[in-house]
Amino acid sequence: MTAMVKAEGVHKSFGPVQVLKGIDLEVAPREVFCLIGPSGSGKSTFLRCINHLEKINSGRLYVDGDLVGYRQKGDKLYELKDREVAEKRRDIGMVFQRFNLFPHMTALENVIEAPVQVKRETKAVARERALRLLDRVGLGDKAGNYPSQLSGGQQQRVAIARALAMEPKLMLFDEPTSALDPELVGEVLDVMRGLAEEGMTMIVVTHEMGFAREVGDSVVFMDDGVVVESGQPREVLTNPRHERTKSFLSKVL
Amino acid sequence: MTTKIEKAGPVGTPPPAPENIKAIPVRHYGRWVAAVITIALLALLISAFARGDVNWGAIPDYFFDGEVLKGVRNTVWITILSMVLGVALGIVLAVMRLSKNPVTASIAWGYIWFFRGTPVYVQLLVWFNLGLVFDYINIMPIYKDEWSDFMTPFLAALLGLGLNEAAYMAEICRAGIQSVDEGQSEAAQALGMSHAKTLRRVVLPQAMRVIVPPTGNEFINMLKTTSLVIAVQYWDLLQATSEVGQNSGATAEMLFLAAAWYLILTSVLSVGQYYLERYYARGSSRSLPATPLQRVRANLLSFSNRSGGVGA
Ligand SMILES: Nc1ncnc2c1ncn2[C@@H]1O[C@H](COP(=O)(O)OP(=O)(O)OP(=O)(O)O)[C@@H](O)[C@H]1O
Ligand SMILES: [Mg+2]
């Protein structure tokens, strides 16, 4: 079975600053893969590399067996055109820390935007699915609200519905609950738990160790651009082998 | 919750509605004084004009004169067309200026540099006199003519005003586009939208909130700047009123008439701008501000409340 995501020696620098220093990992289909680590360790950057919002400098990154951002012919790499990159991104949903809903559109319009504009679905079809998705994240009655009229937790759930509307095979979550008041975190995690149960492949950058332990199939601890430790949540979170993991966990738990 | 809140009445009966506050509003005596002084000054000014050597009757006589109305129509027309050209080209230039392609970015930079750096009056004259450089216009298969026949006063006015405006609109649009959070285009791209679609569906609609207010000002400015097209002999409002003034001997009166028409037109534009801003503010605040009409109604209501006591 091909891995959903496979990274081999992924490096990424911004100018002189090396942010990712050789990441190797594999995410299996239907796996819930949790990425933890201190601020600035490169978790967001790695996530953004996966859907080619950032270009990697060296190494190889595959999604569902296909090279990200390039096409290989013989031993030569050819950059993909913008259109082709956009096409690949359709299959990868992304949820951001600050929601990034489109403020000039209602919740419903946010959710039908990409299916109609990108996949050329008819409004009726997209709308039906959007209402179903909004219902599923518990916001069936908020379809007509603008993001400014929703709480943070509600906005994030709309953002998840928006990503799901493209029927992705992989979902990336970048600290989806970090910008939320504590009492709103649960409602978002519940939605994610439901997704995991349905078998969605998910890569989740999170500081919610409870979620990682309960829902995660594997946990990777990143620090300073390298993978320090990885394994089953129980091992990594309760019996970390590395000093750095221990000291990080003692701070966040 | 462990503490129980003491209820006002027995369970089941709703508590009585609290009584509304009745208070005498603050009196603003300063406002009354200022109003009286202003009215007095206005009255002085008006009486000075009324006693002056002005044939006021000429203004209503010529207000709806055929030539004047034609001038009004042309002024409105050239304003709208120049702004359409300016906005469309301005958006293109702004996008070019912000693009990663160094060639398009420098072209846009050069364009803005040139058209903002020279007076629009000069540009108008240059368009009109380009015949000195080009005897013929020859767009090979489509069009061929003598320059002087091709470059009509209308076209010179449109190019002069519109191309100049584009340079200013480009800067306004650039500021608007840059005001939109980067997370927005990132989210759009993560959904698989192309650059063009991201711009059109996500970035520009949000940039509008920043772009519309200064564009409204540009529109009003443009309406007034069109008075320069007299330089290329385009029959605009000012040209019409000057002509009528010279023929009828009421030169100054016709200038007042022109001013009145310009005021009417700019006032209409201001109202339009207000509603446009309201439209593009949707979603950005929880409730839209009241329209002037709604505000007048609310004021009248509160006024009647003041005399009739505190009502619900
Ligand atoms: N576009 C950029 N240009 C320059 N430096 C960047 C850029 N994006 C990220 N960085 C740098 O890369 C490093 C890693 O950033 P990244 O956002 O991936 O960290 P993170 O692990 O997600 O941290 P956090 O938990 O705070 O979100 C940081 O030092 C950051 O300053
Ligand atoms: Mg981050």
Report which bound ligand comes closest to the CA of A96. Answer: 2
The model's confidence at residue B286, banded by pLDDT at 50, 70 and 90, is low
pLDDT at B130: 80
pLDDT tens, position by position, B89-147: 999 999 999 998 999 999 999 999 999 999 999 999 998 888 667 777 776 667 777 77
The model's confidence at residue B288, banded by pLDDT at 50, 70 and 90, is low
pTM of the complete model: 0.81
pLDDT at B281: 76
User: What's the CA gap between B299 and B312, in Å, rounded?
Assistant: 15
pLDDT at B249: 85
Q: Is residue A181 part of a domain?
A: yes
pLDDT tens, position by position, A30-50: 999 999 999 999 999 999 999
Mean pLDDT of A15-37: 96
Query: Is B191 close to A162, i.e. CB distance below 8 A?
Result: yes
Query: Is B191 close to A51, i.e. CB distance below 8 A?
Result: no
A100 interfaces chain B, CB cutoff of 8 Å: yes
Domain count, chain A: 1
Of all protein residues, the one whose alpha carbon is nearest to atom 18 of ligand 1 is A42
Q: Is residue A11 part of a domain?
A: yes
- Domain containing A31 equals 3-248
pLDDT at B1: 44
Report CA Rg, chain B. 28
ipTM entry = 0.94
Mean pLDDT of B35-48: 93
The closest CB to that of B187, out of A86, A100, A117, belongs to: A100
Of all protein residues, the one whose alpha carbon is nearest to atom 28 of ligand 1 is A40
Rounded to a whole number of angstroms, the distance from the CA of B91 to the nearest CA of chain A is 20
Specify whether the CB–CB gap between A249 and A240 falls below 8 A.
Answer: yes
A118 interfaces chain B, CB cutoff of 8 Å: yes
A101 interfaces chain B, CB cutoff of 8 Å: yes
The closest CB to that of B191, out of A82, A98, A166, belongs to: A166
pLDDT at B303: 53
The model's confidence at residue B309, banded by pLDDT at 50, 70 and 90, is very low
Specify whether the CB–CB gap between A107 and B186 falls below 8 A.
Answer: no
Specify whether the CB–CB gap between B191 and A101 falls below 8 A.
Answer: no
pLDDT at A141: 95
- Residues whose CB falls within 8 Å of the CB of residue B11, separated by 6 or more in sequence, listed in order: none
User: What's the CA gap between A114 and A86, in Å, rounded?
Assistant: 12
Q: Is residue A204 part of a domain?
A: yes
pLDDT tens, position by position, A74-133: 889 999 999 999 999 999 999 999 999 999 999 999 999 999 999 999 999 999 999 999
Q: Is residue A138 part of a domain?
A: yes
Mean pLDDT of A174-189: 94
Specify whether the CB–CB gap between A192 and A215 falls below 8 A.
Answer: yes
The closest CB to that of B193, out of A86, A101, A106, belongs to: A86
pLDDT at B27: 84
pLDDT at B200: 94
Average pLDDT across chain A, whole number: 95
Domains of chain B, each with CATH number or no CATH: 62-281 (1.10.3720.10)
Q: Which residue has the higher pLDDT, A156 or B14?
A: A156
CATH of residue A103: 3.40.50.300
Q: Which residues of A touch B284 (CB under 8 A)?
A: 103-104, 148
Query: Is A113 close to B197, i.e. CB distance below 8 A?
Result: no
